[in-house]
Amino acid sequence: MTSRMIAFGGLFFLILQGALGFDVSTMEQLEQAKKTGQKLVTVRNLQVPAGKTLDFQGLPNGTTIEFAGRVTFGYKEWNGPLMIIKGGNFIVKGLKGHVIDGEGQRWWDGLGGITGGKTKPAPFIYMQLENSFVNDLVFKNAPMTVMAINACRNLIMNNIDIDNALGHTKGGHNTDGFDVAHSENVRITNSRVNNQDDCLALSSGKNIVFANNECRGGHGIAVIGGFDGDNVEDILIKDCKVINNNIGVRVKTILGGKGYVKRVTFDNVELKDVSEIGVVVIGNYYGNNGPKGEPTKGCPITNLVMNNIHGNVLNNGTKHWVYVAEGSDWTWNTNIQGGNRPWQPCKGIPKGLNIECGTNKVG
């Protein structure tokens, strides 16, 4: 063999190694991948047994996890989660044509997480990642919440497809797209959510960017303050579209909650056929039951920016609703068509802002 052939052979070997991961088509193979410390794992047409979590804990930091083919889960009433990924320096990505299919229709009963219904495994995927990338994943028909992004740092997510469209006719409920909590330096970009609850529900964190995403069918983009005294700060929601949701964008703090919501910016969000309220900022959020009673102090919303929120609310809906006990240093620049239904007046708008509100009596 000439040295050139050897070099070529070596290169070929490297390419093979690069292209072919350790295939995981059974749960046993996943355990084997962990035992042997595989750094490139390809999950291919895996059927996860009922009541089991597809658990990637135990793979070494720095592993690349790829998804290929169709990944499915057996049916059982249980709490889940269906998948867990934790660690550092991970690359998680979907290969062309793959789908991670929760077949949530087997659990959907229109009740979501409300007691009385079926117990649904949630979230679909729980992620606790540092210095990691999550790209090109396709999730279909989650039983309930899709992504729990919890205690993550330096995480970049791009091109995530959350398709729960079937849930609109088959009883999908509480199918949040991205739930972000206790996280720092997270970016979610170029993604699509079609669901029956919040597109983004960001309940605590710092330096979170949600940009160039499209939300369909659900409850809009939400920043939530005052959960367990957690804070929300330096959030940028930019260049998004909210289509056929009941709410466009909102900031809601929990009734009686403590903490603060600081420097949250919504910039260039297009609303299309929003059915209830275009922009909501409230201080009396009472969980799944929505707003209740008078807003409380304890979680002030400061340096809020609503810039270039445009598009339309259906005529039987309302453009804006602000209902807070305290708030200061807001910028408000919206241009919303439609939304002419009378609604209750606003409360707590910082001095100097002119926001078109309802005039109806409360109640």
Residue 37 is classified by DSSP as: T
Q: Kindly state the smallest distance separating residue 130's Cβ from ligand NAG, in Å.
A: 3
To the query of whether residue 23 is one of the catalytic residues in this protein, the response is no
Give yes or no for residue 185 binding ligand NAG (CB under 6 A).
no
Which is the catalytic residue, given 163, 219, 230, 320?
Answer: 219
Instruction: Give me the residue label for tokens 């047409």.
Output: 45
Nearer to ligand NAG, 130 or 214 (CB): 130
Rounded distance between C-alpha atoms, residue 109 and residue 172, angstroms: 7
Give yes or no for residue 87 binding ligand NAG (CB under 6 A).
yes
The dihedrals phi and psi of 15, each to the nearest 5 degrees, come to -65, -45
Q: In whole angstroms, how large is the CA radius of gyration of the chain?
A: 22
Q: Kindly state the smallest distance separating residue 24's Cβ from ligand NAG, in Å.
A: 20
Region class of 170: left (phi > 0), else alpha (psi between -120 and 50), else beta: alpha
Region class of 359: left (phi > 0), else alpha (psi between -120 and 50), else beta: alpha
Give yes or no for residue 340 binding ligand NAG (CB under 6 A).
no
To the query of whether residue 219 is one of the catalytic residues in this protein, the response is yes
Rounded distance between C-alpha atoms, residue 133 and residue 307, angstroms: 29
Q: Kindly state the smallest distance separating residue 197's Cβ from ligand NAG, in Å.
A: 16
The site that binds ligand NAG (CB under 6 A) totals a number of residues, namely: 9
Which is the catalytic residue, given 136, 163, 179, 197?
Answer: 197
Q: Which of 260, 276, 279, 321 binds ligand NAG (CB under 6 A)?
A: 276
Nearer to ligand NAG, 273 or 326 (CB): 273
Q: Kindly state the smallest distance separating residue 360's Cβ from ligand NAG, in Å.
A: 13
Query: Please, which of residues 216-255 interact with ligand NAG by CB under 6 A?
Result: none
Q: Kindly state the smallest distance separating residue 314's Cβ from ligand NAG, in Å.
A: 5
Give yes or no for residue 47 binding ligand NAG (CB under 6 A).
no
Give yes or no for residue 88 binding ligand NAG (CB under 6 A).
yes
Q: CB within 8 A of 195, min separation 6: which ones?
A: 142, 146, 162, 164, 167, 172, 175, 176, 177, 216, 217, 218
Per the CB < 8 A criterion, the answer to whether 169 and 132 are in contact is no
Strands 318-323 and 301-302: unpaired
Q: Which of 23, 109, 130, 161 binds ligand NAG (CB under 6 A)?
A: 130
Record the tokens describing residue 99, joined without a space: 């789908």
Helix (H, G, I), strand (E, B) or coil at 289: helix
Neighbours of 7 (CB within 10 A): 11
Give yes or no for residue 275 binding ligand NAG (CB under 6 A).
yes
Record the tokens describing residue 208, joined without a space: 């979170």
Query: Taking CB under 6 A as the rule, which mask of x and - marks residues 287-316 in contact with ligand NAG?
Result: ---------------------------x-x
Binding stretches for ligand NAG (CB under 6 A): 61, 87-88, 130, 275-276, 314, 316-317
